[in-house]
Homo-oligomer: A and B are copies of this chain.
Amino acid sequence: MTDRKPPASEEDSLIARYFGPIATDPGAFNLGDDAAVLSAHGDDLVVTTDAIVEGVHFLAGDPPDTVARKALRVNLSDLAAKGATPAGFVLTLALPAADEAWLTPFAQGLSSDAGLFGCPLLGGDTVSTPGPLMISITAFGRVPTGKMIRRSGAKPGDRVVVTGTIGDAALGLDILKGGAVAAGLANDAEATAMLVGRYRVPQPRCAIASAVRDHAHAAMDVSDGLAGDLTKLCAASGVSAVIDAPGIPLSAPAAALLAKGSVSIETIVSGGDDYEILCAIPESGFEAFAAAARQAGVAVTSIGTVIAGASAPKFLDAQGREIALQRLSYSHF
């Protein structure tokens, strides 16, 4: 009876063992086919794709389960900002080696988040690479037809609103890279862990996707730095904005570091990896939006106002003076 099972390649066996259990959607065919089937159920499908590379988006020493979760969550963050409900994802994994000690916790982290956010694995491709580990995910969400929230659509008078706190992930990355932030924290282990955790495991704001869809004129997720991303949102909308920098929501460690001059506001607003939602909410809808966010347990803060004009958004200090920003965001090139 040894010929009853055809010899599975290592690649197929690896996929079946590690990723089969995450492919819970019937359209994934247990990862046993060449493609998956995704039904839109009459909705529009929102498609987003984001890749993370070792040494660029995560560090070689990062725990595999957090790498998996970050890879999925950066995509979920895009879906949430577009007002979409997760429907599934496909994964491309470029591996230097099929290392079981790495794959086991990686698959566990992915499985855990796929379940948590209701976003099953639909398919993927696993390839070998002589280079760094890379994970590319394409994620799908559903919105009622025509209802995806775009970057364009912000109108003068809208409130500029962000979720959560800004800048933590950039500080966490600085700590991991042995930068000056660690010294500023004076061995505060709890603050260190919080900031590093914010870099490694973003919190996609899926819980308020429907509130964004119901109330926002425009939205995007903050992945490359608040200043740069707001500039993009304004450009897409043909508007400008004025931001009250002291009103930008900060975590306690970030606020303390800023207060004692260990980091600048520029680091906070141009650092990447926040994965919070930035949106333009009309004044008339703000109370309802804030109430829905409270209900969902997501902090939202109004940090400024959309204004007419085509100049780059201005960040004002406590005295109302414009803060000159040398750098707006992270760019790969």
Contacts and interface: CB of A to CB of B under 8 A. Distances in A.
Interface of A: 3-7, 9-12, 14, 29, 32-40, 42, 44-53, 55-57, 78-79, 81-82, 84, 90-92, 94-95, 97-98, 122-132, 134, 136, 138, 140-141, 143, 145, 148, 150-152, 220-221, 224, 228, 231-232, 234-236, 310-312, 328-329, 331-333
Contacts of A232: 6, 12
A48 B34 contact: yes
B47 A38 contact: yes
Given A35-B79, A332-B126, A49 B92 contact: yes
Contacts of A91: 49
A47 B328 CA distance: 36
A130 B131 contact: yes
Given A124-B49, A125-B51, A37 B331 contact: no
The complex is assembled from copies of this chain, and their number is 2
A309 to B, nearest CB: 9
A312 B136 contact: no
Nearest to A48: B35
Chain A interface SS verdict (over half): mixed
23 contacts: A9-B224, A9-B228, A11-B332, A12-B232, A32-B152, A33-B150, A35-B79, A35-B141, A36-B46, A36-B47, A36-B48, A38-B44, A38-B47, A39-B145, A47-B122, A47-B123, A47-B140, A49-B90, A49-B125, A53-B129, A125-B136, A131-B131, A131-B134
Given A51-B92, A312-B6, A332-B128, A39 B34 contact: no
Contacts of A48: 34-36, 123
Contact of A333 (B10, B34, B39): B10
Given A129-B132, A131-B130, A44 B37 contact: yes
Contacts of A332: 10-11, 126-128
A37 B32 contact: no
B333 A53 contact: no
Residue from A51, A98, A126 whose CB has the most chain B CB atoms within 10 Å: A51
A81 B34 CA distance: 9
A125 to B, nearest CB: 5
